Amino acid sequence: MFGQVPNETANPWLFVSFLSNINNIKNGLPDASILGVLWSVSIEEQFYLFWPLFMALFRKQRPLLFLTILIGSLFFRYFHYADSSVIYFHTFSVISDMALGGLLAWLCFEKESFVTNISYLKKPLIFSIYLLGILLIIFRKDIFASPMGITFENLTLSTFFGFIILEQNYSNHSFFKVGNNKFFTQWGKYTYGLYCLHFIGILSATHISQILGTNKSLFGVLVWETALALSISMATAWLSFHLYEIHFLKLKVRFGFVTTVKEKRRNTMDPMEEELMV
């Protein structure tokens, strides 16, 4: 379609079994760029498969479970710091992100004082943490270049992103609440498609720019091509949700664990009715 000659190395069995992150370690990134982002989806599915079992086995020691996974992941990263593909793609290397999320969620539900402390955070402290986090991201290659830096990079950055979620949900002194913006909340349900399919938008925009010749200027690449790629990606995500994903989401009412009457009502709603409710 884009005039490219395929040279695919991806193992299809590793992709259909949600082990594409292992494929990236063994075979390198797939030739098809749209497959390249699916490694993180595989880790997510591995998490969904095993996490309920762990939560049931450690019903009374959940904080210990979270901390054990966090520490184990740090040791794994330290002993593999020289292998960038393992550090970036291996489940044991990045599972600390989800363990930290589990720990923060447990604290929110089980420790009222934790949420109270977040709600009382003052604006100067919030600003300082955001500034520090942004600087860590910008200069991450220099800050996390050493073996110990590589070991703690994921945990440090995921702590910052965890803070963003907590601050947005519980702080009484936020500078801006993303959840109050209707555009962002409406498009939240399309983020899965945006993440998985955005390379279609990028490749399409690049190809169209080449045909039109708009890729010969800085403005054309940075502004026109970027806007076009975003527009195509958003349209593709919208179509994916309404033509494909929504049929699987409806299965939640049959197989999902419904905890509240309101949630059950949502799961049985027509998509248009749900949009009116929002």
Residue extents of the structural domains in the chain: 58-178, 183-277
State which H helix or E strand residue 133 sits in: helix 123-138
CA dihedral of residues 49, 52, 58, 64 (deg, nearest 10) = 70
Dump pLDDT digits (tens) for 116-152. Answer: 999 999 999 999 999 999 999 999 999 999 999 999 9
Dump pLDDT digits (tens) for 153-199. Answer: 999 999 999 999 999 999 999 999 988 888 888 888 899 899 989 99
DSSP letters, 92-145, are: HHHHHHHHHHHHHHHHHHH-HHHHHHHHT--HHHHHHHHHHHHHHHHTHHHHT-
Asked if 128 and 102 count as a contact pair (C-beta separation under 8 A), the reply is no
Predicted TM-score (pTM) of the model is: 0.80
**What's the angle, vertex CA 217, arms to CA 211 and CA 220, rounded to 5?**
65
Strands (DSSP E) contained in 18-97 are: none
Burial class of residue 216, CB neighbours in 10 A (0-12, 13-18, 19+): exposed
Tokens of residue 89, six digits: 């793609």
